Structure 1
Amino acid sequence: MRSVHLEILEELKQVAKHVDHEEVTAFIDALQQAKRIFVCGEGRSGLMGKAFAMRLMHAGYTVYVIGETITPSIQEGDLFVAISGSGNTPSVALVAEQAAKSKALVHLVTSNRKSKLQTLVDHQVIIPAATKKRRKDEPATIQPMGNQFDQSVHLLLDAVVISMTTEKEDIHDMMNRNHANLQ
């Protein structure tokens, strides 16, 4: 089991080395400048999105998850973040199109530089990881389905939030204060 665990970690390290720093920096800038942030994804990408939204909320950002009953209308000045390994998820594309029509900025986190969604977005961050599609340009992995993409998204988006909060004093205490306490 240990060798499998270590091989997965090595795979994730290799994916991380190939993420474009300038793409991520532009993404961070957009997050920091947005009035509000809306996060969207389906399936496991949606779960990674919810974890990202939760961390942004802990860090003091106004953030919503698409599909939740308390999510308000998106507007100009807001940032819509779509997460899709294939970049072709129909429901995510539909919502991204609606966000663009509302004049929100639209950013995509995906593995597919030539996706259908990329034609709708203002910016994209490419995570060069394997998905369940197993396109020819995806890296080899011992993992099934889109595990490598999901894990890479989770780690990258955690790194994004950490990068956005390193200059804030007492960020750990602030995040703890914003953490759910009705449990």
Structure 2
Amino acid sequence: MGYYVKSVVPVIESNYDKFTTVEKTIADFFIQNKEKSDFSVKAVSERLFVSKASLVRFAQKCGYHGYKEFIYQYEDSLIEKQESITGNTRMVLNAYQELLNKTYSLVDETQVGRIIIYLNQAERVFVCGKGSSGLSAREMELRFMRIGLRIDSLTDTDMMRMQAVFQDKKSLVVGFSISGEREDVIYLLREAYKKGAKTILFTAKSKDSFKKYCSEVVLIPSLRHLNHGNVISPQFPILIILDIIYAYYMEQNKHVREGMHDSTIRALEEAEEMHTKFLDEE
């Protein structure tokens, strides 16, 4: 369970919708394959009945200079893993481990650094999402609010559209949409960007259109091609990245922010003690 391997699979998954039918055939092969084999351009083209040129274009769409660079990293990720537990426990833990590996492959520390700058510069932060992504938005609000950030979560359609009107250059808007297709979330990001706000989208999809209204697109692992992905909470990939950003943010002015966090904990504990005392007196 202690393996962290830079894998090309999450990169393939995030670009999947860009591929042609032939390229999706290639993508499916590399996503589903778990064994070492002959991955030379000749062998794979013959195995999949695709041209060598298609393999090169596929690799380039994934962000590599060519097929050789792509396959070098792909082969490097095929590491034997010893399992000592069985049943549902192994299945769930393996799924989480695979998600951690995918996150490791996608996380961009330079990008995280830029996001920290945005958080420090913004006078007000709004984070939005619907469904399970809305729960992640609420989680971000609660965590960062405790260390002094002026942040509000939006999970209601009307609130997202109304707040879009009031954004400006001093705002930072964060949107969570695993599919990248939540119209309410996209609307807020798009309108806020027009008004000069910094905008960040957390998504499992890589689309060129996002660049038109997103200052940053943070790619998160997809559950779509994950074995037994249906038992994993869709919030988990988002929360991993949030934890990384939170750790970097806490590191700046660490003493002050830890003090704020401890103060909020004490305030909550005092409220609980007062409530308990009131009930005892009743």
Q: What TM-score, normalized to structure 1?
A: 0.81
Structural mapping, 1:95-174, within 5 Å:
95-114=188-207, 116-127=209-220, 129-131=221-223, 134=224, 139-144=225-230, 147=233, 149-167=234-252, 168-169=254-255, 171-174=257-260
In structure 1, list runs of 5 or more residues that go unmatched.
Answer: none
What is the one-letter code of the residue matched to 1:93?
I
**1:151 Cα deviation (Å)?**
0.4
**What's 1:25 paired with?**
113
The answer on 1:94 being equivalent to 2:187 is yes
Residue 262 of structure 2 is matched in structure 1 by: 176
Name whichever of 79-88 and 110-119 sits farther off. 110-119
Gaps of 5+ in 2: 1-87, 273-282
1:98-134 CA-partner distances (Å, limit 9, x unpaired): 212332111111111116544321211111x124xx3
- Structure number with the bigger relative contact order (C-alpha 8 A, sep ≥ 6) is 1
- In structure 2, what is the Cα distance between the partners aligned to 1:177 and 1:31? 21
TM-score, with length taken from structure 2: 0.55
Q: 1:15 aligns with which of 93, 98, 102?
A: 102
1:48 is paired with a residue whose SS is helix
Matched residues, number: 174
Counterparts of 2:123 and 2:259 in 1: how far apart (Å)? Answer: 23
Does the C-alpha gap of structure 1 residues 117 and 166 become closer, same or farther in structure 2, counting only changes over 3 Å?
same
Shift of 1:67: 4.8
Match of 2:176 in 1: 83
Is the helix fraction higher in 1 or 2? 2
Look at both structures and tell me which one has the larger radius of gyration over its CA atoms. 2
After superposition, the CA RMSD in angstroms is: 2.5
Identity across matched positions, percent: 24
Query: Structure 1 26/145 Cα, relative in aligned 2: closer, same or farther at 3 Å?
Result: farther
Deviations 1:10-66 (A, max 9, x none): 122212211222222222221122111110111111111110111110111110112
Which deviates more, 165-174 or 34-43? 165-174
Q: Distance in 1 between matches of 2:170 and 2:201?
A: 17
Does the 8 Å contact 2:137/2:154 carry over to 1? no
Taking a change above 3 Å as real, the CA distance of residues 26 and 170 of structure 1, as seen in their structure-2 partners, is: closer
1:154 & 1:5 partners in 2: Cα distance?
Answer: 17
